[in-house]
Structure 1
Amino acid sequence: MLINPWDAARDENEWREWLRTRDFGQIAVNGVDGAAPVVVPTHFLFDGDEIVLHLARPNPIWAALEANPAALMSVYDDYAYIPSGWRGDSPQTGVPTSYYASVQLDCLAEIVDDGEGKAEILRRQLAHHQPAGDHGEMAADAGPYHKRLSALRGLRLRVVEVRAKFKFDDHRPEVRERVSAGLAERGLPTDAGARARQLGRAAGG
């Protein structure tokens, strides 16, 4: 994705802190033999160095990863459409745009098929997604889930490169107040997140 200098993350901590509270994204991998890319929406766990998750065995992503282990995890949020009138003196003079935050992680994939390896991934995911501990024991040879492990495969994604973009008109402070007011008044489902991110960036956060 195109990242202009004013849209780039201020530092590594900014994108890491943003990603820390987001654990749903899309994995994109190359299609086999020139086919269209395979894109899979999924929950995941990112521990700062690698991404772990599991998917059903029939998922078409496995054949694609076996042919080419390169994968991209894409996460986006805090998005909003910004009308032309909010960025100019009138709807005829302003240029509409999109506000959004996006982190893309280039990865190398390792497929996990052994029972204990899959159980470890599930333990880590359950501890993250269900921290209350109401998920029962997870082991390769015991507990309520072990007979179901054969129906899934685990996936480890080693992160090799990160691209982070926070597109909120940082280079146009003269429109900030008008856009912020517009987002607050319009009140669409994602407007509050976009406004908070815009104001946070403006404040240096």
Structure 2
Amino acid sequence: MDTERLLFAPPAYAAADPAAIVRRYPFAQFITTSAAGMLATAIPLYFESDDDTSTMIGHMARRNPHAASLEAGQSALAIFAGPHAYISSSWYRERPTVPTWNYVVAHVRGTIEPIDDEATQLAILRHTARIMESGNATPWTLEQAPPGRVDTLMPMIRSVRMKVERIEGVTKLSQTHPPGDRVRVMERLLERNDEGSHEVARWMAGLGVEK
């Protein structure tokens, strides 16, 4: 894999484990280019196995024009967005500066293979349900769908496999600021009434910021 970065991130902000971001926020903006132009669709994408450097799989509605444009060997970019939050300059007192934005994101680049056979597409749906239901006390399975519902929906989707060629991430979380300012940022974020700000604060805490 080429070591040159395509996702801009100063060294202090480069994610140590971008695959962890992908696994935590699997609903991606999936982007390809073709004769139809540049197309983007929000779809769930998951690593096909525990090897997070090999392939990813997902699906989209077949009636989506993006689905018809998919071709074997196409380049693709998948953007996995985590939490983000505006950071007021008034929170930085030890080393005053201008306002900024803290955020978490990962980019996966690779080439794709459209999947149209029913058996593989069904396996992808099972894989999706197994991952997303894993935290439930009684995980839902495809077998619990209303009779005939899965068979009805199968012709309405088109799946895709993406060979991972590069995975990069950014965790911009005030790492370059003094500890006191970072604690203050966390406290102010937790005072806000939105989950995005609270999750950014939790990411900051995960980097070892002591309160």
State the TM-score bracket (shorter-chain normalisation): 0.7 to 0.9
Residue 105 of structure 1: aligned partner: 108
Report the secondary structure of 1:52's partner residue: strand
Is the contact between residue 88 and residue 95 of structure 1 (CA under 8 Å) also seen in structure 2?
A: no
What's 1:84 paired with? Answer: 89
Question: Which residue among 159, 163, 166 is the counterpart of 1:158?
Answer: 163
How large is the Cα RMSD of the aligned pairs?
Answer: 2.6
- Indicate the residue corresponding to 2:58 in structure 1: 53
Cα deviations across residues 83-130 of structure 1 (Å, max 9, x unaligned)?
12113479xx53111101111000211100112121221221222223
Match of 2:192 in 1: 186
- After TM superposition, the structure 1 stretch with the greater mean CA deviation from structure 2, 96-105 or 143-152, is 143-152
User: 1:50 Cα deviation (Å)?
Assistant: 1.8
Which of 26, 29, 32 is the matching residue for 2:29? 26
CA shift in 2, pair 1:67/1:159, >3 Å: closer
Q: How big is the shift at 1:9?
A: 1.8
Partners of 2:71 and 2:113 within 8 A in 1? no
CA distance in 2, matches of 1:137, 1:7: 44
Matching residue of 2:45: 44
Q: Which portions of structure 1, spanning 4 or more consecutive aligned residues, are displaced by more than 4 angstroms?
A: none
Runs of 5+ in structure 1 lacking a partner? none
Q: Is the 8 A contact 1:101 1:167 kept in 2?
A: yes
2:11 corresponds to which of 5, 17, 22: 5
Structure 1 length-normalised TM: 0.82
Q: Which amino acid aligns with 1:27?
A: F
Q: Equivalent residue of 1:2, what SS?
A: coil
Offset of 1:79 from its aligned partner?
1.0
Q: CA deviation at 1:16?
A: 2.8
Q: Which residue number corresponds to residue 4 of structure 2?
A: none
SS class of match (1:103)? strand
Segments of structure 2 that go 5 or more residues without pairing to the other structure are: 1-6
Q: Does 1:167 align with 2:143?
A: no
Measure, in 2, the Cα distance between the counterparts of 1:184 and 1:122. Answer: 37
Shift of the 112–179 alpha-carbon distance from structure 1 to 2, 3 Å rule, reads same
* Contact 2:60–2:159 under 8 Å retained in 1: yes
Percent identity between the two aligned chains = 24
CA distance in 2, matches of 1:115, 1:64: 19
Report which stretch shifted further, 188-197 or 53-62. Answer: 53-62
Give the paired residue count.
194
Please say if residues 6 and 171 of structure 1, whose CA atoms lie closer than 8 Å, have aligned partners that are also in contact.
Answer: yes
Query: Which residue is 2:204 aligned to?
Result: 198
Instruction: Establish whether residue 121 from structure 1 lines up as the match of residue 124 from structure 2.
Output: yes
Q: CA deviation at 1:133?
A: 3.5
Write the deviation string for residues 15-41 of structure 1: whole angstroms up to 9, x where unpaired.
Answer: 3333323221110112536x3x21111
Of 67, 71, 84, the residue aligned with 1:66 is: 71
For the residue of structure 1 that corresponds to 2:168, the secondary structure is strand
